[in-house]
């Protein structure tokens, strides 16, 4: 028996409905990344993390659990788990996270905010009032729960008089930019990914990258949002040589991530195929989505392929370290 879809989804739904996030995150885990950046609270323009990068350590931990449960008798207890979860959050027990992983993902957010500051973008942050945008629940087709949640998110932003949002990952970008306007009446928010904002700015490189980098487009950026040129422009301006793998741009190949929580082994096969493609043309790869980053990195462990988030390269080239 595979992982029981019903109960896994049930836990996610309950978490979102009861706790506002698909997985519980402590206040400090959500906002620690912003330490030392002096980002003002609130403002007309805000950076919006959508908690995606912060959730990654928990998701990695949960996937380790799930892949152990899949095909084992323990999977029968997901149902019981879901019942308990409604009262006492069980997810933290399933998702003991690792401190160095938390630091790794926080550093990406830190990079992004730094880049925006160097580019002279005036922005604030909602800190602990920022909410998860609901992508996972939306993707799984739990429409009513998603829609209720989306309204909450929008109300929160309006409460703070936010007019412009700078997103940091493709999924939150798609939610706020393309999905919310379809379900929220008179939706008024200007939404841009930080890659778009940086590409439009006058950011000048301080250092030459002089590296050959294999680019892995995110499906959501490339095919949902048409964000293809901006990451290339930013890397190339800094002197990097971009290597396009066989599947690239609009024809990019999925990292397997979206299937990770329910079908870990199938997801891994997809990730392996993609890593094969990337490693066959170079030894340094770049991702621009937290889910891609996690999955490509895991599949690349045994290959001669380094995996970095695009902000790692950009901060190196454009910011005074």
43 vs 245 by CB, closer to another protein: 245
Residues 144 to 163: which contact another protein by CB under 8 A? 144-145, 148
Tokens (6 digits) for 224:
């949902």
Other CB atoms within 10 Å distance of the CB of residue 113: 25
Do 82 and 11 touch, CB atoms closer than 8 A?
A: yes
Neighbour-count burial of 310, counting CB atoms closer than 10 A to its CB (0-12 exposed, 13-18 middle, 19+ buried): buried
- Nearest alpha carbon to residue 148 among 10, 13, 1: 13
Range in contact with another protein (rule: CB under 8 A) among 25-33, 189-197, 233-241, 269-277:
269-277
User: What residues contact residue 127 under an 8 Å CB cut-off, 6+ apart?
Assistant: 30, 31, 34, 41
Task: Check binding of 13 to another protein (CB under 8 A).
Answer: yes
Strands of the 124-125 sheet, one edge to the other: 124-125, 45-48, 164-167, 190-193
Residues in the chain: 321
Range in contact with another protein (rule: CB under 8 A) among 92-100, 197-205, 226-234, 245-253:
245-253
Task: Check binding of 2 to another protein (CB under 8 A).
Answer: yes
CB of 124 to another protein, least distance (A): 32
Site string for another protein, 199-238 (x = CB under 8 A): --------------------x---xx--------------
Among 143, 188, 241, 280, binds another protein (CB under 8 A): 143
Do 177 and 225 touch, CB atoms closer than 8 A?
A: yes
Range in contact with another protein (rule: CB under 8 A) among 53-61, 142-150, 193-201, 301-309:
142-150
How many CA atoms does the CB half-sphere of 137 hold within 13 Å?
A: 24
Task: Check binding of 36 to another protein (CB under 8 A).
Answer: no
Task: Give how many residues touch another protein by CB under 8 A.
Answer: 33
CB of 273 to another protein, least distance (A): 7
Positions touching another protein (CB under 8 A) are 2, 5-6, 9-10, 13, 17, 138-145, 148, 219, 223-224, 250-251, 253-254, 256-259, 262-263, 266, 270, 273-274
């Amino acid at each position: 028996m595979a992982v029981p879809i019903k109960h896994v989804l049930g836990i996610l739904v309950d978490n979102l409905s009861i706790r506002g996030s698909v997985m519980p995150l402590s206040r400090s885990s959500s906002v620690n990344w912003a330490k030392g950046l002096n980002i003002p609270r609130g403002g007309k323009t805000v950076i919006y993390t959508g908690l995606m990068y912060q959730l990654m350590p928990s998701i990695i931990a949960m996937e380790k659990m799930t892949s152990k449960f899949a095909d084992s008798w323990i999977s029968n207890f997901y149902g019981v788990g879901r019942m308990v979860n409604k009262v006492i959050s069980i997810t933290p027990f399933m998702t003991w996270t690792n401190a160095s992983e938390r630091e790794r993902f926080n550093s990406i957010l830190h990079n992004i905010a730094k880049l925006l500051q160097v580019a002279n973008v005036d922005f604030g942050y909602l800190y602990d009032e920022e909410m998860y945008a609901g992508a996972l629940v939306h993707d799984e087709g739990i429409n009513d729960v998603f829609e209720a949640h989306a309204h909450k998110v929008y109300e929160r932003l309006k409460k703070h008089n936010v007019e412009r949002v700078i997103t940091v990952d493709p999924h939150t970008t798609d939610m706020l930019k393309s999905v919310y306007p379809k379900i929220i009446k008179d939706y008024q928010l200007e939404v841009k990914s930080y890659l778009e904002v940086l590409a439009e700015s006058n950011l000048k490189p301080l250092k030459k990258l002089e590296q050959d980098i294999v680019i892995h487009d995110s499906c959501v950026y490339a095919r949902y949002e048409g964000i293809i040129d901006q990451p290339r422009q930013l890397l190339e301006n800094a002197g990097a040589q971009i290597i396009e793998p066989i599947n690239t741009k609009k024809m990019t190949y999925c990292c397997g991530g979206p299937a990770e929580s329910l079908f870990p082994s199938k997801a891994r096969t997809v990730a392996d195929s993609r890593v094969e493609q990337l490693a066959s043309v170079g030894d340094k790869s770049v991702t621009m989505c937290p889910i891609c980053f996690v999955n490509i990195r895991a599949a690349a462990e045994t290959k001669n392929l380094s995996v970095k988030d695009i902000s790692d390269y950009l901060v190196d080239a454009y910011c005074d370290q």
